[in-house]
């Protein structure tokens, strides 16, 4: 019996190994497009940016020479850069906080049945589908320093007296408020949909049990629902942070970094210096400052997604 | 056999070209136009749309007569430089690329147009000096671009309002603006911004602050390319602007884009702006109420007696080295200058010929062509064929050449001046000083440091002179 077993086991092992090898080969083939894509469109441009940041490369030329860390020294010494760095964190933190709070409110509202819910969902998703360039042009009129619709409404409502006017895009603080407002408007639908999915995934039995145990609304939200939604919340926050941290479209379209280069974020400043100003080396150096934060975020994101898989 | 360093540098260039081409790929329509008999032109969308309606069929017709297929692509003025950057990186795209301001940063990648300019000078005499200073690099001795037209930048004033304060011909000095602003507030309290001089990160503001700087005796560089921004004259210009801002402007001017001053003037929300006649033509086309009070003044004089304004637009056509139709491109540019009269009329007197002689009466002797061309230009301005009331409303434009100058004054335009323009170093300085974000002295020091960094970088590339007498 023993010998029979041994004889019959050998071909089975061989077949298993063959399948495993074939699986491995298939795995490599399946992964190859993604790896090539990442190598060509992520790794190569990143390494190129790193390389260019050490050169005096300019937009009108493919010739350059090494300047060491001079671009970094110049950039760090620049008040415009330091302001942009601060703005990037403020922009990311404030807009994500607002998106998560408002997204939660909207998601909870959409969990309940009410008349016109389908239409409401469609309208909430609209900003996500609208091209940002078109949307920002609309917002440009809403926040225009001379013809602001908001100001006219406030004036009609008696909120603004004679001579009073909000210069939304001409004031450093109001400019950032306008930028953050548009970004929140733009990111809110995505966040709402993610949170809605998270809320829907919590079994009703859990809510019923908490109600029987006498948990109030706040206790249910903070002690049951939010902890249960943590994996999905983490993904939503991390995605939003990465997207916001690297975004330049709203700033570029709305204020172009003004007034006096005070509302730039790192991405828009890198574009202004590197592409519009033609100083590719300096632009690359500015952009490189995004990397450490993005690396940390990527690690956190990978860890949380692994945890989410376990859950 | 190549050294390791050569290998690394060459490899890097290949990666750079590949990555840039990959990145630019989706935005560039690269037609299969390498073969002879095709000419591809990238052109701005003109501020006076009627010009494009003339230019596109004219270019096609020019090509058809030679059996050449001409294609014209238009981009917004803000996309001219990014598009050029992408095409250089990809070493592919159009044959002819039109720049609005300074093409000098791309000098290395364009062919020398000396022969085309020489041909034109033989036909029409010299081009206007500001066009020459915007398209020729005396340091490298290269004619990197060819200009067919430039645009004057007069003051636009609201006649009724200025008449009410006893200045019916508008301001003539920068000091007038400061004196008038409080008076305008009294007679026209509904106007949000009595004096609408932009201090924003846009093209018009960039020109406006240069005008103020020059007329107070300051400049970014001297005639030899030394950085001289750090000067008592700059300080005086900043202190003046701070005063003007406090008496006559609001924070709105810090956020203006290229269209904002037009919109504010046409909505009668300001009594004075610096602009070409495009805003006026818009008011005409739309029969706006402001039209009857829409008038122009020459450049204002500063306390030094200097009266200067930057050109509003300076065309600079380049032909890329990668173009396979270089001779054809040169022929086209010569033909475009030949059509200067049509060009000026198609743009409703917005474009002024860079070669005045090209607007001369036919059969005029060469030595009289510039004079004849100037007379034709004056005739158009003195009796606007596009229906101004009074007909000589634009007459001052015919005399705008003496008070118009190039970016880079008192030197030549160069890549460093271009980068300072495109990264808003000067508007930033003026806005910070005016709003009190920095003291005028600190704002000047900050801008001067940045200007020197930019000049030094371009000097290392041997494209900009000077440095020995930087302040």
Q: Which residue of A has its CA nearest to B203?
A: A256
Write down the pLDDT at residue A12.
54
Residue B56 CB partners (closer than 8 Å, separation 6+): B72
Among A40, A65, A169, the residue with its CB nearest the CB of B255 is: A169
In a domain, A116, yes or no: yes
pLDDT at A1 > cutoff 80: no
In a domain, A34, yes or no: no
Q: Return per-residue pLDDT of chain B as tens, 471 residues.
A: 444 444 444 444 444 444 444 433 333 333 334 445 899 999 999 999 999 999 999 999 999 999 999 999 999 988 898 899 889 888 899 999 999 877 888 998 999 999 999 999 999 999 999 999 999 999 999 999 999 999 999 999 999 999 999 999 999 999 999 999 999 999 999 999 999 999 999 999 999 999 999 999 999 999 999 999 999 999 999 999 999 999 999 999 999 998 999 999 999 999 999 999 999 999 999 999 999 999 999 999 999 999 999 999 999 999 999 999 999 999 999 999 999 999 999 999 999 999 999 999 999 999 999 999 999 999 999 999 999 999 999 999 999 999 999 999 999 999 999 999 989 999 999 999 999 999 999 999 999 999 999 999 999 888 899 888 888
Which residue in this structure is represented by tokens 């198609």? B346
Q: Is A148 on the interface with B (CB under 8 A)?
A: no
B89-109 core/surface letters (b: 16 or more CB in 10 A; e: else): bbebbbbbbbbbbbbbbbbbb
Are A171 and B251 in contact (CB < 8 Å)? Answer: yes
Are B192 and A165 in contact (CB < 8 Å)? Answer: yes
- Do residues A298 and A306 touch, judged by C-beta distance below 8 A? no
pLDDT at A214 > cutoff 90: no
User: Three-class SS of residue B148?
Assistant: coil
Cis check: omega of the bond before B410, within 30 degrees of 0: yes
Residue-range domains of chain B with CATH:
4-147+313-382 (3.40.190.10), 155-311+406-460 (3.40.190.10)
If you count them, how many residues does chain A have?
311
If you count them, how many residues does chain B have?
471
B454 contacts in chain A (CB < 8 Å): 279
**Tokens standing for A133?**
């360039």
Nearest to B292 by CA among B160, B189, B156: B160
A59-63, A180-184, A185-189, A193-197: which range is least confident on average? A59-63
Write down the pLDDT at residue A93.
95
Rounded to the nearest angstrom, the gap between the alpha carbon of residue B389 and the centroid of all alpha carbons in its chain is 28
pLDDT in tens, A298-307: 888 777 767 6
In a domain, A286, yes or no: yes
Write down the pLDDT at residue B289.
97
pLDDT at A2 > cutoff 60: no
Are A65 and B460 in contact (CB < 8 Å)? Answer: yes
Within 151-170 of A, beta carbons closer than 8 Å to B belong to 165, 167-170
A170 contacts in chain B (CB < 8 Å): 250-255
- Do residues A265 and A248 touch, judged by C-beta distance below 8 A? yes
CA B41/CA B60 separation, integer angstroms? 11
Bigger pLDDT: A303 vs A284: A284
CA A306/CA A299 separation, integer angstroms? 11
DSSP notation for B17-51: HHHHHHHHGGG----S--STTEEEEEEE--SSHHH
- Quickly count: other Cβ atoms within 10 Å of residue B110's Cβ: 26
Q: At what angle do helices B114-124 and B326-338 cross, to 10 degrees?
A: 30
Tell me how far CA of residue B34 lies from CA of B17, B18, B292, B415, in angstroms: 19, 19, 52, 29
DSSP notation for B77-114: GGGHHHHHHHHHHHT-S-SEEEESS--GGGGGGB---H
CA B120/CA B147 separation, integer angstroms? 11
B12 contacts in chain A (CB < 8 Å): 48, 51
Are B105 and A40 in contact (CB < 8 Å)? Answer: no
Number of domains in chain A: 1
Among A56, A80, A167, the residue with its CB nearest the CB of B252 is: A167
In a domain, A69, yes or no: no
Write down the pLDDT at residue A18.
73
Task: Tell me how close the Cα of A83 comes to any Cα of chain B, in angstroms.
Answer: 13
Q: At what angle do helices B440-460 and B415-422 cross, to 10 degrees?
A: 140
What is the SS3 assignment for chain A?
CHHHHHHHHHHHHHHHHHHHHHHHHHHHHHHHHHHHHHHHHHHHHHHHHHHHCCECCCCCCCCCCECCCHHHHHHHHCHHHHHHHHHHHHHHHHHHHHHHHHHHHHHHHHHCCCCCHHHHHHHHHHHHHCCHHHHHHHHHHHCCCCCCHHHHHHHHCCCCCCCCCCCCCCCHHHHHHHHHHHHHHHHHHHHHHHHHHHHHCCCHHHHHHHHHCCCCHHHHHHHHHHHHCHHHHHHHHHHHHHHHHCCCHHHHHHCCCCCCCCCCCHHHHHHHHHHHCCCHHHHHHHHHCCHHHHHHHHHHHHHHHHHHHHC
In a domain, A2, yes or no: no
Write down the pLDDT at residue A162.
80
Write down the pLDDT at residue B6.
47
Is the pTM of the predicted complex or chain greater than 0.90? no
CA B403/CA B154 separation, integer angstroms? 9
- Quickly count: other Cβ atoms within 10 Å of residue B182's Cβ: 12
A45 contacts in chain B (CB < 8 Å): 19, 23
Are A259 and B435 in contact (CB < 8 Å)? Answer: yes
Mutate which: B6, B100, B254, B421, vs A, most A CBs within 10 A: B254
CA A187/CA A132 separation, integer angstroms? 11
Within 229-268 of A, beta carbons closer than 8 Å to B belong to 255-262
A178 contacts in chain B (CB < 8 Å): none
pLDDT in tens, A222-280: 888 888 888 888 888 888 898 899 899 999 989 999 899 999 999 999 999 998 888 99
In a domain, A57, yes or no: no
Bigger pLDDT: B410 vs A2: B410
Write down the pLDDT at residue A13.
53
Mutate which: A58, A60, A170, vs B, most B CBs within 10 A: A60
Write down the pLDDT at residue B35.
46
Task: Tell me how close the Cα of A64 comes to any Cα of chain B, in angstroms.
Answer: 8
B316 contacts in chain A (CB < 8 Å): none
Q: Which residue of B has its CA nearest to A60?
A: B106
Task: Tell me how close the Cα of B41 comes to any Cα of chain A, in angstroms.
Answer: 18
Write down the pLDDT at residue A21.
81
pLDDT, average across residues A53-58: 90
Write down the pLDDT at residue A232.
84
Which helix (H) or strand (E) element contains residue B380?
A: helix B366-382
Mutate which: A76, A176, A277, vs B, most B CBs within 10 A: A277
Domain that holds residue A301: 79-310
Which helix (H) or strand (E) element contains residue B122?
A: helix B114-124
CATH number, domain with residue A166: 1.10.3720.10
CA B294/CA B372 separation, integer angstroms? 30
B460 contacts in chain A (CB < 8 Å): 56, 65
Among A74, A262, A277, the residue with its CB nearest the CB of B423 is: A277
Strand partners, B39: B70
Write down the pLDDT at residue B13.
45
Nearest to A255 by CA among A121, A84, A102, A130: A84
Q: Which residue of A has its CA nearest to B453?
A: A74
- Do residues A60 and A276 touch, judged by C-beta distance below 8 A? no
Percent of chain A scored above 90 by pLDDT?
42
pLDDT-derived band of residue A121, with 50, 70 and 90 as boundaries?
A: confident
Nearest to B269 by CA among B181, B328, B193: B193
- Do residues B307 and B299 touch, judged by C-beta distance below 8 A? yes
B432 contacts in chain A (CB < 8 Å): 260
Task: Tell me how close the Cα of B406 comes to any Cα of chain A, in angstroms.
Answer: 19
Based on its alpha-carbon atoms, the radius of gyration of chain A, rounded to whole angstroms, reads 26
CA B298/CA B156 separation, integer angstroms? 9
């Amino acid at each position: 019996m023993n010998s029979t077993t041994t004889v019959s086991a050998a071909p089975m092992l061989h077949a298993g190994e063959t399948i495993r090898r074939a699986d491995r080969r298939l795995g490599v083939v399946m992964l190859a497009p993604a790896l090539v894509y990442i190598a060509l469109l992520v790794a190569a441009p990143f390494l190129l940016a790193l390389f260019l940041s050490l050169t005096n490369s300019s937009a009108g030329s493919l010739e350059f020479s090494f300047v060491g860390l001079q671009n970094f020294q110049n950039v760090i010494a620049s008040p415009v850069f330091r302001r942009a760095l601060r703005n990037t964190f403020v922009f990311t933190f404030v807009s994500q906080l607002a998106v998560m709070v408002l997204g939660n409110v909207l998601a909870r509202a959409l969990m309940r049945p009410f008349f016109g819910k389908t239409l409401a969902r469609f309208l909430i998703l609209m900003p996500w589908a609208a091209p940002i360039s078109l949307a920002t042009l609309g917002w440009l009129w809403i926040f225009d320093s001379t013809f602001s619709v908001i100001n006219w409404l406030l004036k009609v409502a008696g909120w603004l007296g004679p001579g009073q006017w909000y210069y939304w895009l001409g004031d450093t603080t109001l400019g950032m408020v306008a930028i953050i407002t548009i970004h929140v408007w733009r990111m809110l639908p995505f966040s709402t949909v993610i949170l809605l999915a998270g809320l829907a995934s919590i079994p009703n039995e859990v809510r019923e049990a908490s109600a029987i145990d006498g948990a109030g609304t706040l206790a249910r939200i903070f002690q049951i629902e939010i902890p249960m939604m943590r994996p999905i919340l983490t993904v939503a926050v991390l995605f939003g942070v990465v997207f916001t941290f690297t975004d330049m479209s709203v700033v570029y379209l709305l204020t172009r970094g003004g007034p006096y280069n005070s509302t730039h974020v790192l991405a828009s400043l890198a574009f202004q210096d590197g592409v519009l100003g033609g100083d590719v080396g300096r632009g690359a150096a500015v952009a490189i400052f995004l990397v450490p934060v993005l690396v940390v975020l990527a690690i956190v994101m990978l860890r949380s997604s692994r945890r989410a898989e376990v859950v | 056999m190549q050294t390791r360093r050569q290998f690394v540098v060459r490899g890097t260039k290949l990666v750079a070209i590949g990555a840039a081409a990959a990145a630019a790929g989706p935005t560039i329509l690269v037609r299969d136009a390498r073969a002879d008999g095709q000419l591809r032109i990238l052109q701005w969308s003109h501020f006076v749309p009627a010009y494009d309606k003339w230019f596109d069929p004219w270019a096609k017709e020019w090509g058809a007569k030679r059996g050449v297929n001409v294609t014209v692509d238009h981009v917004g003025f803000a996309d001219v430089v990014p598009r050029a950057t992408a095409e250089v990186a990809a070493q592919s795209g159009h044959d002819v690329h039109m720049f609005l301001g300074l093409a000098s940063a791309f000098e290395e990648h364009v062919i020398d147009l000396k022969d085309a300019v020489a041909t034109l000078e033989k036909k029409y005499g010299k081009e206007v000096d500001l066009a020459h200073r915007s398209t020729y690099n005396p340091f490298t001795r290269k004619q990197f671009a060819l200009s067919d037209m430039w645009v004057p930048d007069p003051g636009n004033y609201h006649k009724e309002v200025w008449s009410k304060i006893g200045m019916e011909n508008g301001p003539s000095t920068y000091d007038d603006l400061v004196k008038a602003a409080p008076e305008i507030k009294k007679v026209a309290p509904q106007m949000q911004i009595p004096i609408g001089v932009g201090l924003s990160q846009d093209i018009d503001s960039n020109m406006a602050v240069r005008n103020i700087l020059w007329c107070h005796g300051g400049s970014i560089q001297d005639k030899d390319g030394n950085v001289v921004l750090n000067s008592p004259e700059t300080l005086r210009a900043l202190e003046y602007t701070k005063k003007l801002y406090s008496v006559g402007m609001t924070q709105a001017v810090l956020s203006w884009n290229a269209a904002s001053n037009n919109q504010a003037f046409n909505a009668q929300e300001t009594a004075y702006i610096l602009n070409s006649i495009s805003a006026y033509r818009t008011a005409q086309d739309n029969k706006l109420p402001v039209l009857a009070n829409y008038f122009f003044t020459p450049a204002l004089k500063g306390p030094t007696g200097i009266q200067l304004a930057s050109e509003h637009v300076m065309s600079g056509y380049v032909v890329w080295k990668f173009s396979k139709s270089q001779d054809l491109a040169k022929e086209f540019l010569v033909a475009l200058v030949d059509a200067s009269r049509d060009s000026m009329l198609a743009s409703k007197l917005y474009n002024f010929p860079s070669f005045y002689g090209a607007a001369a009466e036919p059969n005029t002797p060469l030595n009289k062509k510039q004079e004849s061309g100037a007379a034709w230009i004056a005739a158009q301005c003195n009796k606007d064929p596009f229906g101004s009331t009074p007909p000589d409303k634009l007459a001052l434009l015919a005399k705008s050449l003496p008070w118009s100058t190039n970016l880079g004054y008192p030197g030549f335009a160069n890549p460093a001046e271009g980068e300072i323009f495109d990264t808003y170093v000067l508007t930033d300085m003026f806005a910070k000083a005016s709003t009190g974000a920095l003291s005028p002295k600190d704002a000047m020091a900050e801008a001067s440091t940045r200007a020197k960094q930019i000049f030094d970088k371009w000097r290392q590339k041997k494209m900009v002179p000077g440095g020995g007498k930087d302040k």
